[in-house]
Chains A and B, each alone.
Chain A
């Protein structure tokens, strides 16, 4: 399998195999050239390879005349927030996000804190491939600047936008699993400042990831036990860089990652009706919640940049993705799991509710996700072939071609598309009952004739 992926989600690969220092240097040079120098922020998560990638990135950026500001280990949303505050030209987050520890990635951020969109990413790739990078002479090289106030700024921005006093009064007991990632310092501090009694595990940036950093129910077993043992009111799980959030209820039930955005959407729309932006693969529960509160939903292709740009464009009240990423535009236009934690606690405090009650209020759907291994040479043909036969096969469905193929029926939908991060085709099917969802997924898989390689 090809373990390097260059796409709208950045450049990612496995360190020791495809993700080499030259690659990181070259991409940093390309980014510095693309932005025509200027102030660039960088940060990284806690992966051991982060230091290597950091050095490569610093070298490449300095050589193109950028003024590099290194925030060290800190959550990606903290960097994005500081970036807009400092009016920087761009940023690079060095983080494999939810990917396993041996992966790493460069994620390119533009001046408004949002990731490069597909067109910009493709322009950057053209610069990279052409290989003619800006080369500044000795007297136009900037010194590296190191800053450690990104977390402080993030904390103060959050407290300005939350009813902290109400949260403090509730004296929540909160369990948190930072996966020894970039949120290990920020989240426990944030919770303490909100008057919570914090029970935290895996909050050391020196340690390795204790489990896969994707905050899905299967990776929240430790947190679930912690919630039960400590009698916590709620449990939160972070990925490695603070973009995705997973939730465990006070009853010790790990919620599907689809719930995170649904819960925050319920919270935001209950305060103010408005537009919700999410991607095509995110749960239909979002639409039902919107209808309930007199709001509306805009669906975009998969990729944070699409969602974030649309949130900004239409003035949405909330946005995000079913993977656990939430955008709260009052804070910033990027996935910010710490902001999401704040919003959830604020709501529970103000409404005197429990998280399980709140979750019960989310319309119940069953989602089936399958990953089909496909060689890059066949992905396009596979999807195209399916597209051609749909007219006759999937009668009565509503078809959306904006990212792969999404077919929706009144009682469920199935979305077939190529992955942005790995060489595979993803099938996501959702329905009110499990059997129907499985049937929809089976149908798509049989049309594609590919093997399921999901864990």
Chain B
């Protein structure tokens, strides 16, 4: 087998492995493209804790300065903080230096526009054209602006959250909260947030040195340390963040991960119990969201996968909450971004309001079972596989917004090609684990025959 190519320049930005494909000149050129695309102006830059972050940051600043941009350096901070600061400072754009949930050797640039959202696919295409054309803006010596260091990112972000939600009391006492920040950017903010919410804190992996103690994706298999911590410390709840603190995973007081999809479900249920409004999420997120919304007589709009697709739809529909099933909660009143600190705040307030243990709140959520599978699929076969499945399920209700989604009364299947690897992602959700398994096997078998 050929070695997997690690560099990916796509509408999601540029991503690669340090010491391999992601080199300083490439990053500088990409930053020059962005500076050219935005026609100079103020650009806010933040990074997660990866050891390569400093190298990447300087490559980015060299590119931004050479195109006449005014760089603002937030240095290490969560991605949602960068997004918030872009809006607060009235910047023309932002760059978040983070490979998010990817392993430690990766890094990436995520490009943010003036409203704090990531570039959408059309904007990213425009940017890529500039990158490929290579004809960048060149500022003269006297037009080069010195980088401004800004240390107000995290304080502003905290202030913005605390403006809406204050300290929490649970049955008249303080909550005990366990956290695992994976030594990522959340290390600098999450403990402060929990102190402000007047919770008692037990923490692991809050040294922002970028040495990840486990893979940073907040999925159940990476949460074993946190589960143990919750049990041993008898915490009321445990929270885990990825390296850039946009995604949130939760562990119940019993020391059991509740599943990433339930992060959004809890947040939505809490908010809709307080006020009515539209919810936006992507096609691959649990149907529990629809069931919850139905109880409160609210609307759910589904979008293509990708944070920007959710946020843009939220803007258009004036949604009150939204997010993604991977643990990304978006609450526009506080921040127009997937924000794990907002997720933590909403969940804690839900616990306080309900006065019940977290496990009870999770049990009360509509119960579904997921099967997530990936099947190798070269890009040349993607269309024929999808067409085959469309024919197979032609009599059923379908959504073709992003790959193929087949909708049944109490289950669904979503089949789409990955943006980043030559694989097909298959997600099936049903009322029982077995039903989900059966359907997933059926789909994979069809693909095998194709």
Give A contacts to B, CB under 8 Å. 14-17, 20-22, 24-26, 28-29, 47-49, 51-56, 58-60, 62-63, 101-102, 104, 133, 135-141, 143-144, 208
Bound state CA distance, A133 and B18, in angstroms? Answer: 13
Cα distance, A59 to B56, chains bound together (Å): 7
Q: How long is the Cα–Cα vector from A312 to B59 in the complex, in angstroms? A: 37
Shortest 7 CB-CB contacts between residues of A and residues of B: A137-B19, A56-B62, A52-B65, A16-B140, A59-B59, A59-B58, A21-B62
Do B62 and A52 have beta carbons less than 8 Å apart?
A: yes
Contact residue range for chain B? 35 or more
Q: Which residue in chain A gives the minimum CB-CB distance to B19?
A: A137
Q: Which residues of B contact A47 (CB under 8 A)?
A: 141
**Knowing A15-B141, A48-B141 touch, does A25 contact B62 (C-beta < 8 A)?**
yes
Q: Contacts A48-B146, A137-B19, A144-B54; is A63 near B140 (CB within 8 Å)?
A: no
Q: Can you give 30 contacting A-B residue pairs, CB < 8 Å?
A: A15-B66, A15-B141, A16-B139, A16-B141, A17-B138, A20-B138, A22-B29, A29-B24, A48-B146, A49-B65, A49-B144, A51-B146, A53-B62, A55-B61, A59-B57, A63-B18, A63-B24, A63-B55, A102-B141, A102-B142, A104-B141, A135-B20, A137-B18, A137-B105, A138-B50, A138-B105, A138-B107, A141-B55, A143-B51, A144-B58
Q: Is the CB of B143 closer than 8 A to any CB of chain A?
A: yes
Q: Is B50 within 8 A of A25, CB to CB?
A: no
Chain B residues numbered 39-68 whose CB sits less than 8 Å from any CB in chain A: 50-52, 54-59, 61-63, 65-66
Interface residues of B, Cβ cutoff 8 Å to A: 18-20, 23-25, 27-29, 32, 50-52, 54-59, 61-63, 65-66, 104-105, 107, 138-147
Minimal Cβ-Cβ distance residue in B for A102: B141
How many angstroms between the C-alpha atoms of A377 and B33 in the bound complex? 34
B140: which A residues are within 8 A, CB to CB?
Answer: 15-16, 102
Distance, CA A6 to CA B224, complexed state (A):
56
The residues of B that contact A16 with a CB separation of less than 8 Å are: 138-141, 143
Q: Which of B27, B28, B66, B104 contacts A138 (CB 8 A)?
A: B104
Given A52-B144, A55-B62, does the pair A141, B52 have CB atoms closer than 8 Å? yes
Q: Which of chain B's residues have a CB closer than 8 A to the CB of A29?
A: 23-25
B residues near A104, Cβ cutoff 8 Å? 141
Nearest-CB distance from A104 to chain B (Å)?
A: 7
Given contacts A22-B29, A102-B142, contact A59 B62 (CB under 8 A): yes
Known contacts A138-B105, A208-B142: does B18 contact A22 (CB below 8 Å)? Answer: no
Complex contact A52–B66 (CB within 8 A): yes
Shortest Cβ distance from B50 into A: residue: A138
B40 to chain A minimum Cβ distance, whole angstroms, is 13
When C-beta atoms are compared, the residue in chain B nearest to A103 turns out to be B141
Query: How far apart sit A417 and B101, CA to CA, in the bound complex (Å)?
Result: 59
Bound Cα distance from A29 to B50, whole angstroms: 21
Is there an interface contact between B141 and A59, defined as CB atoms closer than 8 Å? no
Q: A137: which B residues are within 8 A, CB to CB?
A: 18-20, 105
For B58, list chain A residues within 8 Å (CB): 54-56, 58-59, 62, 144
Q: Flag if A25 contacts B25 (CB, 8 Å).
A: yes
Give CA–CA (A22, B23) in the complex, Å.
11
Q: In the complex, given contacts A21-B66, A59-B27, what are 6 additional A-B residue pairs having Cβ atoms less than 8 angstroms apart? A: A15-B66, A52-B144, A55-B58, A56-B59, A59-B28, A208-B142
A60 surroundings in chain B (CB, below 8 A): 24-25, 59
Docked complex Cα distance between A24 and B61 (Å): 13
Using Cβ atoms and an 8 Å threshold, which residues of chain B touch A17?
A: 138
Q: What CA separation (Å) do A133 and B143 show in the bound complex?
A: 31
Contact of A59 among B55, B104, B107, B143 (CB under 8 A): B55
- The reply to whether A25 and B141 form a contact with Cβ atoms under 8 Å apart is no
Which one of B28, B55, B65, B141 has the greatest number of beta carbons of chain A within 10 Å? B141
CA distance A436 to B428 in the complex (A): 95
Partner of B25, one of A22, A48, A143: A22
Q: Which residue of A lies closest to B139 (CB)?
A: A16
**Bound complex: CA of A375 vs CA of B63, how far in Å?**
31
CA distance A24 to B66 in the complex (A): 11
How distant is A66 from chain B, measured CB to nearest CB, in Å?
10
A135–B57 CA distance with the chains assembled, in angstroms: 17
A135 to B139, CA, bound (A): 29
Interchain nearest-CB distance for A259 vs B (Å):
31
B27 to A, closest residue via Cβ: A59
- Min CB distance B12 to A, Å, is 20
Query: In the complex, how many angstroms separate the beta carbon of A365 from the nearest chain B beta carbon?
Result: 37
- Tell me the complex Cα distance, A110–B183, Å: 38
Interchain CB contact under 8 A, A140 and B65: no
B146: chain A residues within 8 A (beta carbon): 48, 51
Contacts A25-B59, A138-B105, A144-B54: A56 and B141 contacting too (C-beta < 8 A)? no
Q: Is the CB of B66 within 8 A of A59?
A: no
Instruction: Tell me the bound Cα distance from A102 to B63 in angstroms.
Output: 18
**Chain A neighbourhood of B147, CB < 8 A:** 51, 55
User: A208 contacts which chain B residues (CB < 8 A)?
Assistant: 142
User: Which residues of chain A come closer than 8 Å to B56, judged between CB atoms?
Assistant: 59
Q: Chain A residues with Cβ under 8 A from B51's Cβ?
A: 138-139, 141, 143
Complex Cα gap A53–B50 (Å): 23
Tell me whether B19 and A135 are in contact (CB under 8 A): yes
Kindly state the separation between the CA atoms of A128 and B59 in the bound complex, as whole angstroms: 18
**How long is the Cα–Cα vector from A104 to B65 in the complex, in angstroms?**
14
Q: Which residue of B lies closest to A140 (CB)?
A: B19
CB distance from B206 to the nearest CB of A (A): 19
Most buried by A among B19, B27, B52, B143: B19
Which residue of chain B lies nearest to A17 when distances are taken between CB atoms in the complex?
A: B138
Contacts of A58 in B (CB 8 A): 54-55, 58
Closest to A60 in B: B24
Chain A residues within an 8 Å CB radius of B142: 48, 101-102, 208
Shortest Cβ distance from B145 into A: residue: A48
> Cβ of A140: which chain B residues have Cβ within 8 Å of it?
19
Shortest A15–chain B CB gap in Å is 5
Q: Is the CB of A135 within 8 A of B23?
A: yes
Return the chain B residue nearest A135 by Cβ. B19
Distance in angstroms between the alpha carbons of A63 and B29 in the assembled complex = 16
When distances are taken between beta carbons in the complex, the residues of chain B under 8 Å from A26 are 25
**Are B18 and A141 within 8 A (Cβ)?**
yes
**Least Cβ–Cβ distance between A141 and chain B, in angstroms:** 5
